[in-house]
Structures are given as structure tokens and as C-alpha cells.
Amino acid sequence: MPNINGAQPSIVRPTVNANNFEIKPGLIQMVQQEQFGGGPAEDPHAHLTNFLEICDTIKMNGVSDDAIRLRLFPFSLKDKAKAWLNSKAPNSFTTWNALSQAFLSKYFPPGKIAKLRNDITSFAQFDGESLYEAWERFKDLQRKYPHHGLRDWLIVQTFYNGLTHSVRITIDAAVGGTLISKSTEEAYELLEEMVFNNYQWSNERGMPKKVPGMYDVDGINMLNAKVDSLVKMFGKLGNVNSISSPVLSCDCCGGAHMSSNCMQVQFVSNYNRQRQQNNPYSNIYNPGWKNHPNFSWKYQGNQGSSSRPLHPSGFQPRPSQQENKESWEIAIEK
């Protein structure tokens, strides 16, 4: 039969000489608010840093730091990390140093160390990133891996080489030379000062002056409002996709074509054009003029023939001027 009394924790809690030593529930709750679960996105170094800050808030005579840390650390773990601690053999950790080293070895493997170290040494400023933003991002990489082992002068040189060309020119002009020619301490202080000035200048520039009596409307909201109004407008007009193409209809024959392409219209047009070209009374010259009664170029080869002009069949000769006169006009002339 399993015996609960035989289960021993992996952490050996040091003895405390103080009789009134007690960890307050409020302190335990503070530790539990920053629990570490062992996920790939969690930072073990940041967890230890936050945990030590909480532990340093309590000091008692006759109570060592290890006694407080070893008692509180299990409350700071959850999920996989808590299962890892419970899986260790009983009495595995007797000091805080041994426990913290085992914790970092578990959740800070060599592969992760190599990646973070490479992120530091291959640092490069992003496009559109300010000097302040680049400096803070570079320091965040160092905080994720505080034991990177890089010398201070290499840290400064790595950051300087990772900046864009225009930013390096600005820094060199500000220091009156090249930044890497300065000492490590001086170069670091100059960077901190320039970063601070860049941060202040960016904040002042990023605060637009507001005009009294005007509302500040976000551009995205305005665009969304316009899109909504257009959608409503098209909704009232009906579905755009349902609009059919116009149906062609001829005004002459009713066929499915334009009136200008109708065969009947073209036939009538060609017929009228041919009649006009042979009209002897047309105002425009055409071959029919040779049949005009008032023109004399018609061939008169046969003198004995009648002088009456010939007319094409189907045409009546125009009456002469004499024939057009009324009888009373003729009587006056006589």
C-alpha cells in the first residue's frame, strides 16, 4: 500500500532558529501571480529575477535567504515546471544555488543559448526603427541571456555596427569622431545620452497640437464609415451582379440587332442612293443630267428625226414655259 507519509520533497528546507517565523499568505499570493509553466515562450531568467525581487521584500533575524527562497520557490511553478520539480529525487536540492542552476539547465538548454547569443552578435537595426527603439531591443536581448559572456567593448561595437549608415553618421558627428574610437565606458555613456535625447525628441514630435473646437477622428474609422455608406447605397440599388446586359432591338423589323445594322434599312438606303445618282433634275451632277430636256449635248445624229427630246421610260416631260401660261396671260400678250 502506498504511504503518503513516505513521500519526501526534492527540496530540503533549512532549519530556522526564529520561533515566530511565518510566511504570510499575501506573500505566497504574490509569488503565485508570476508562475512559470515551462512553455517555450517563457523566459526562465526573467522568472528568477522576479522571484528574487519578491523574496527580498522579507527579512527576519535568524532566517537565511535560502530558507525563504527554498520554501517559496515551489509556489512559483505550475504545469510542466511543477511536474519537473516533483519528479526529482527526494532531498536533491539543499541550497538555492543548486536549485537555480538545475532550473536554468532544464529550461535554458544549449540550443536556446546558442540562438540568443547569435541574436545578440548579429543585431541589426530595422527599417524605420529609431535609435531609442533599437537600443532598447538590443538590451532586451541581453536580458534574455545575461550569461552571454560577451565583453563590454564587444557589446558596444556590435550595437554600433548593427545601426544603419545614416544613424552611424549622426552618432559620429555628435561625438566629434567615431564612436568606437572612444573608451568602452565613454562610448556607453554617449550612447545612453543620445538615446535619451532621441526618445525625448520623438515624444515631443509625436504630440500634435490640437485645434480647439475640432474633433479628432481616426482615419480608419472615417474610411470604415465611407465603406459602410457605399455598401448601403449599393444595397438599395440591388445586387450589382444581378444587373443584366441591355437587350438589342431593331426599331424597323424588331430583330435582335441595332437599327443601323438592319438589312431592310440598308436595302432602302441603297435603293434611294441609286435613284438619286440617276436623277436628271438633281442639283448635283450625275449621269442622269444627259437626259435633262434643257441640255443640248445629247447626240443629234439623225436630223430627220423628231426634235422632241427623248425621255426615259417612266418619266413624263416637264411642260414648257409656254404651256404653263394661263389663257388670260396669252390674251394679254396678243
pTM check: above 0.85: no
CB atoms within 10 A of CB 63: 16
Angle made by CA atoms 250, 253, 259, in degrees to the nearest 5: 30
Q: Give the residues of the chain that fall short of pLDDT 50.
A: 207, 209-216, 240, 243, 298-299, 301-307, 313-315
Task: Tell me what pLDDT residue 228 has.
Answer: 77
Per-residue model confidence as pLDDT tens digits over 274-307? 555 555 655 555 666 566 666 555 445 444 444 4
The pLDDT of residue 94: 95
Residues forming a β-bridge with 11: 93
Rounded to whole angstroms, how far apart are CA atoms 60 and 65?
Answer: 9
Give the torsion through C-alpha atoms of 195, 200, 205, 210, to 10 deg: 160
The three-state (H, E, C) secondary structure of 246-289, written as one string: CCCCCCCCCCCCCHHHCHHHHHHHHHHHHHHHCCCCCCCCCHHH
3-state secondary structure (DSSP) of residue 20: coil
> Which set of grid coordinates corresponds to residue 20?
515566530
pLDDT of the residue at 40: 86
Residue 22 Rama label (left phi>0; alpha psi -120 to 50; beta): beta
Question: What gap in Å lies between CA 128 and CA 85, rounded to an integer?
Answer: 45
* The three cell numbers locating residue 171: 552618432
Distance CA 160, CA 182 (A): 12
Per-residue pLDDT of 167-220, as tens digits, reads 999 999 988 888 989 999 999 999 999 998 888 776 555 545 444 444 445 567
